[in-house]
Structures are given as C-alpha cells and as structure tokens.
A and B are shown apart, each in its own frame.
Chain A
Amino acid sequence: MKRLAIVGALVVAALAVAVYRAKLGAEETQGRIDELKAQVAEEEKSIAGLRADEAVLTRPERIGVIAQQQLGLQPASPGQYTASEALKQKLGEEKVTLPVPADTAQAQTQAQLPGIQAPGAKPQQQ
C-alpha cells in the first residue's frame, strides 16, 4: 500500500515536472516567436519608411530636374528615334565605325597584327 502511494506520488511529481518543463519550453518558444514577430514588424516598418524615402527621392519632378541640370538630359524627341529602314539606308551610304575603348582597341590591334602574338595566346595552327 505504502509502496503504491509512494510510486503514485513519484509519478505525479514526475508528471508535474514534465508539465512544468513543457510549459516553460512553450513559454520560451512563445517569447521567441513574439520577439521575432516584433522584429518582423519593426523591419516592415523600416521597409515601409525606406520605400517611402525611395519614392520621394525618385519622384519625377526631382529626377527630371537632376537629369536636366546635372546630366544635360532632355525628354526623348521623335528625331532621336529611327526606323530600321532608315538605318539600313544610312549604313549603305556611309561606313559606320563604332568607337572602341582604348585598352580593348590596343589588345585587338596586337592580336590582329600579322606576326605578332597576343600575350598568353597559343601559337596558331596554319
């Protein structure tokens, strides 16, 4: 009888401890979740603020003035467009040479000159 009571008491105590631990763990997890939720909310607030700042900085009336005054840009005019037919005509009439960056041009020149091998290049098979 006594043994049974002791065993029962121990079981109850063990259960109580288990419940306590589970509850404590859940509380801690819940606390962490709350903390993360608060952090997410703060980040969302921050993002909303940053998006608003971005929208203020990129609004057309600001960008337009900067583009005009600092970069000399103007709204596109029909004269800046061309038709493919017109381009073909133009290419037929005159040889178009596109500008090449200086360092690229130098490397290309060295590689293309007869008898001169570009640095690091394998000898060409004839």
Chain B
Amino acid sequence: MRSYAAPYEDVWGPRRGRIVAAALALVFVVIVGRAAYVSFNGPDRSAVPVAKAEVARRADIVDRKGELLATTITGKSLAVDPSAVWESRDVVAAIRSVFPELGEDALTAMMADRKRQFVWVKRGLTDDQAKALKATGVEGLMFVEEPQRVYPNGRLAGHFLGYTGVDGEGLEGIERIYDARLKLGGSALKLSLDASVQFVLEEELDRAFADFDMKGAAGIVVDANTGEVRAIASWPFMDPRQRGDQSDEAKTNRALNSRMELGSIYKPLTVAAALEAGVLQPTDRFDVSKPIKIGAVTVKDAHPLEHASSVSVTDILAYSSNIGSAEIAQRMGPQTQRVFLGKVGLLTGLKQDGPQWATPLLPARWDQTALATVAYGHGISVSPMAFAMTYLPFANGGEYVTPTFVEPLNAETVKRTRVMSAQTAASVLGMLRTTVTTGSGKNADAKGYEVAGKTGTAEKPGPNGYDADRNITSFAAIFPASRPQYVVLVVLDEAQPRTGVNRTAAFTSATIAGKVIARAAPLLDVRPVLEVAATKSVVEAQ
C-alpha cells in the first residue's frame, strides 16, 4: 500500500492564524482609533467661521506727544426685532421719547415687516440714551455692542482728523487718507500736530470772532526747519462727532482746501526772487510816489508812503507798497517770477502721500499784467497751507521743505530744496522783522518772541471785479527772528471789526497772529529773548 506522505510541508499552517489575527487586529485598531478620533476630536476651530468676526480694532490717532485724538471704544447701537413686537405704537413711542428726531412713520414702517428679525434703528448710542431706552421696558428692542469711533477732544483739529462712518470706514480727513493703515489696528497713528498748540490756535481764531464779524478763518503753525505741521485749523470748526452733519461752511477746510488771493504777504517772495535773480540789491531805493501802469493795470498804494520819492526795499515791505513791489517785479520779468514761485510750491498741488492742498488758480497768461499783480499777491489763488510753506526758506536759511503731517519724521520723504541763498533769506528775514517793529505788523509783536512777518490785505474778487468791502486779511510770521523756529500764518475771511473801522490785516490778522505766537511759543519750548538791563545785551532765557 502506497502510503502518501504529506504532499508538502505546510510551513505557514501554524502561522496563518496568527497572521490573520494580527491583520484583523490591525484593522480593528485602525477602525477603533479612527472612531475614537472622530468621537473625541471636536470640529476644527479654525475651519468654523466665528460668529463674531475678529476685526482688528481701528488704530488710535494721537498727537506728537501721545495725546489721544481719536480712539475706538465699544458702544451700543439700537436695533429692533419686528417679529417680536406686539404693539408697534408703544415701541415707536418709546424710541421717539429718546430720539424725537426719528420720524414716526418711518419707525412704524420699520416695524411693519413681521418677517424680519433685525433692523437697525440708531447706531452709536450714548450710555444715557441706552439707559433711557431700557427703562421704557418695551419689547423687541435689541442693544448691540459694536465698535464706536470717538473723538475725546471734541472738535479739536476736527477738519484735519476727519471722521468715520457708522461702520467705521474713514470718510474725511486723516481718517479717510490713512483708512487702510488705521483699519489694520496696531500702534496708534502719530500726527505731527501738538494738541496744546492746536488748542491755542483754535481758541484764538474763535476769539477773533468776538472782535471781528468774519466769514471764516484759517491758521497754521509749522516747524521752520523740519516742515512738521504743529497746528492747522479752519474756522468755523467742524466737529467730527457729528460725522459731517454740519453746514457746508463748517465742513470746508479753509487751511487746506480753499484757494485765496492772499495779498501783500507775497511781497517778500517778490523781493527774494529779485535778490536771487541779481536784479535787486537790499540797498536799492525806489520812487513810489506815483501810480505806475504795467500791462493792463495801474498799480497804486492805498496809503502813500512818507518820502515816497526814495524808499528802501525794507520800506516797501514794512509799509507794504504795491508800487514798489511791482517795480521790483518789473526788474526780473514774468518768467523769473514764475519759476521762483514754482520753486516754493505755489504753482502745483502737493506731490506726496498724505493730506493734499488745493491746486492753485494761476493767471491764464503770465504776462506783464500778471507780473505786476502777482508781485503783491493778486491774480493768484492758493491754499493757506501751500502759502505757509513759502516762508520756511526765510526762516531756515533758504531751503523749501515739504510739509510733514505724520510722525515719525521720515528724512527720506521730506524734500529739502535750496530756493534761495542763506544771504537772501537773512536779508528778507531782517526786513520782515523791521515790518513788525516799525511797520504794518506792529500788532503781531509778541513780547520776547521777536516776530518777523508781513501783513496782507486782498480785496475779494466779485462779479464786478474786486470788491473793496470784502477782504481777505492775512499775516505770515516767523519767530523768533534771531533764531527762527516756527512759521505762523493767520488768514481771516471778510473780517470786519465789531468796533472801529480798521479792517486791514495790520489790525485784524496781525493781532491774532501775535496772540497765537505769545501763547504757543512756551508750549513749543521756544524761549523768549530777553534784554538784560544792566548790560543792554540780548540773551536767550535758559
């Protein structure tokens, strides 16, 4: 009998069971592990949209010393759930008891759509308003917490700061210009403004209205060496808390966005241009005794100068002779005049990021007529901000500097252009100081601060030519003259003294500029120049 041995040796036999068991165990582990993962692992937090969107808190705006000018707090807004309102009349009455300005019909219509569950009624409630509404106890009112932009200093620098809409988007001023930067949140946007100086400037412009019936005003304080704007104001003021709900007069930023013929404050520019062109010497003398005809205009002086047949260049500035200025301009010609005004930024808008000034209105033809009128500040309209910058070269040794509104000061973006020699700058500065000590600018002479400056009274153009009864009066100042640090410009629109008849710049804007300088100088750490009686020497206060 044939015996059959095992046909082959089943070497896997004993192991097969283990292998299968191990494989099954592995599958089991995977299944259980995955089940455990699914069971215990919550949903991925990052994948689920958060109900309350994490929007960065809009950055604050502060002045150069860190004083808060604009910030964002959490406030309450009022919404209503029409589906939860049983008696809409009660709800409407309750809302109108706090907000009588809201129309009854509009509110009733708002409640009528019972399918809706959320309708905004009023954004940005004050605490008192929220309390009063809660106290009414009516149904359907919802108080929603949301970010609110607030301006703790009220109307201070209102035009410059601008404001945001109820949803936080920048609509005007710095809030609009730097909207993207502010929306990112993070550190505060630091302005070059000094809140204290801004306050002084605004207060003096406001007080000016007590002395003068005026239509508007603008004021600017600029660091003469760096171009940093320390204060910029426009009167009537705009309150950013009202978010544009003000008159057009109040909303107009005269310092940046208005164009004006500023009058005789151009005369120092005429003198500087002629000195630079080499057609004028500071010692030259002029005959200003008779009107002169240049182009299509006959140039006259409103008040004839003493010894008019032979006056110095300093006299022409100090006593503001139109004839003398036109004669100086004639020496250089229209092209030289135009090029010089271009160098000091008066022929174009501001070519840099940030706040802009209004583009100027220039003579259609820069001919002999334009030459004569522009020499004493007529026939050319620029913004006060643009004009203020033209006095910086007189103060800093001859360099035009672009303005800076935001800190830190970026040396790369600040453009410094030499527009006149240091000698010309010093020469004109000396004449401007004389204008204040002995000429038309006496009322601006803030004791101890060596004010140098020039008055400007320009008739406003009307439908029938220039109107002698409506003036723009201005005063452009530099202080202190022996070591210039700041430039101040004050412009009053149709300032009419409430008592007396003198409405020229010598009695209006010069007075205001002097008051601004007297109060702002200590805040700007400008030490007065004092005379020591015993030695008769002039020293700077320590």
A30 neighbours in B (Cβ, 8 Å):
45
In the complex with contacts A52-B150, A52-B152, A60-B196, A86-B532 CB distance below 8 A:
yes
Q: Which stretch, B21-29, B86-94, B364-372, touches the partner chain A?
A: B21-29
Interface residues of chain B, those whose CB is within 8 Å of chain A, are 17-18, 21-22, 25, 28-29, 32-33, 36-37, 40-42, 45, 57, 67-68, 71-74, 150, 152-154, 156, 195-196, 199, 203, 446-449, 518-519, 522, 527-528, 530, 532, 534-535, 537, 539-542
**Is A49 touching B153 in the complex (CB atoms < 8 A)?**
no
**Is A83 touching B195 in the complex (CB atoms < 8 A)?**
no
B37 neighbours in A (Cβ, 8 Å):
19
A86 neighbours in B (Cβ, 8 Å):
530, 532, 539
Q: Smallest CB–CB gap between B497 and chain A, Å?
A: 25
A49 vs B32: C-alpha distance when bound (angstroms): 53
Q: Smallest CB–CB gap between A25 and chain B, Å?
A: 11
Q: List 19 A-B contacts (CB under 8 A).
A: A12-B29, A23-B40, A52-B68, A53-B152, A54-B68, A55-B67, A55-B68, A56-B153, A59-B156, A60-B153, A60-B199, A75-B518, A82-B530, A82-B541, A83-B541, A85-B535, A85-B539, A86-B539, A89-B535
**Is A52 touching B18 in the complex (CB atoms < 8 A)?**
no
**Is A49 touching B68 in the complex (CB atoms < 8 A)?**
no
Main secondary structure of the interface of B (DSSP, over half): mixed
Q: Which residue of B lies closest to A2 (CB)?
A: B21
In the complex with contacts A8-B29, A59-B152, A1-B68 CB distance below 8 A:
no
Given A4-B18, A8-B29, A60-B195, 17 more A-B residue pairs with CB atoms under 8 Å apart are: A4-B25, A9-B28, A20-B40, A23-B40, A23-B42, A24-B40, A45-B73, A48-B73, A52-B68, A52-B71, A59-B156, A61-B156, A75-B518, A82-B530, A83-B532, A84-B542, A87-B542
A45 vs B448: C-alpha distance when bound (angstroms): 47
A24 neighbours in B (Cβ, 8 Å):
40
B25 neighbours in A (Cβ, 8 Å):
4-5, 8
**Is B21 touching A5 in the complex (CB atoms < 8 A)?**
yes
A61 vs B199: C-alpha distance when bound (angstroms): 7
B154 neighbours in A (Cβ, 8 Å):
59, 61
A35 neighbours in B (Cβ, 8 Å):
none
B33 neighbours in A (Cβ, 8 Å):
12, 15-16, 19
**Is A19 touching B36 in the complex (CB atoms < 8 A)?**
yes
**Is B73 touching A81 in the complex (CB atoms < 8 A)?**
no
Q: Which residue of A lies closest to B203 (CB)?
A: A61
Cβ-defined partner of B74 (8 Å) among A4, A20, A45, A84: A45
A82 neighbours in B (Cβ, 8 Å):
530, 541-542
**Is A85 touching B532 in the complex (CB atoms < 8 A)?**
yes
Per-position 1/0 for A93-115, Cβ under 8 A of B: 00000000000000000000000
Per-position 1/0 for A6-36, Cβ under 8 A of B: 0011011001100110011001001000000
Those of A71-89 within 8 Å (CB) of chain B: 75-79, 81-87, 89
Q: Which residue of A lies closest to B521 (CB)?
A: A78
Main secondary structure of the interface of A (DSSP, over half): helix
**Is A19 touching B530 in the complex (CB atoms < 8 A)?**
no
Q: Which 8 A-B pairs have the closest CB atoms?
A: A78-B448, A55-B152, A81-B541, A78-B528, A60-B199, A55-B68, A83-B539, A76-B522
**Is A4 touching B21 in the complex (CB atoms < 8 A)?**
yes
Q: Smallest CB–CB gap between A112 and chain B, Å?
A: 32
**Is A55 touching B153 in the complex (CB atoms < 8 A)?**
yes
**Is A78 touching B199 in the complex (CB atoms < 8 A)?**
no
A58 vs B74: C-alpha distance when bound (angstroms): 21
Q: Smallest CB–CB gap between B448 and chain A, Å?
A: 3
A23 vs B37: C-alpha distance when bound (angstroms): 9
**Is B153 touching A78 in the complex (CB atoms < 8 A)?**
no
B17 neighbours in A (Cβ, 8 Å):
1
A87 vs B530: C-alpha distance when bound (angstroms): 12
A81 vs B541: C-alpha distance when bound (angstroms): 6
Of the listed residues A8, A20, A51, A84, the one surrounded by the most CB atoms of chain B closer than 10 A to its CB is: A8
B518 neighbours in A (Cβ, 8 Å):
75, 77-78
Cβ-defined partner of A89 (8 Å) among B22, B73, B74, B534: B534
In the complex with contacts A49-B73, A49-B74, A59-B153, A83-B542 CB distance below 8 A:
yes
B21 neighbours in A (Cβ, 8 Å):
1, 4-5
**Is B539 touching A48 in the complex (CB atoms < 8 A)?**
no
A56 vs B152: C-alpha distance when bound (angstroms): 5
Cβ-defined partner of A51 (8 Å) among B41, B71, B519: B71
A52 vs B21: C-alpha distance when bound (angstroms): 72
A55 neighbours in B (Cβ, 8 Å):
67-68, 71, 152-153
Q: Which residue of A lies closest to B35 (CB)?
A: A16
A82 vs B527: C-alpha distance when bound (angstroms): 9
Q: Which residue of A lies closest to B36 (CB)?
A: A16
A24 vs B42: C-alpha distance when bound (angstroms): 10
B537 neighbours in A (Cβ, 8 Å):
85
A76 vs B200: C-alpha distance when bound (angstroms): 13
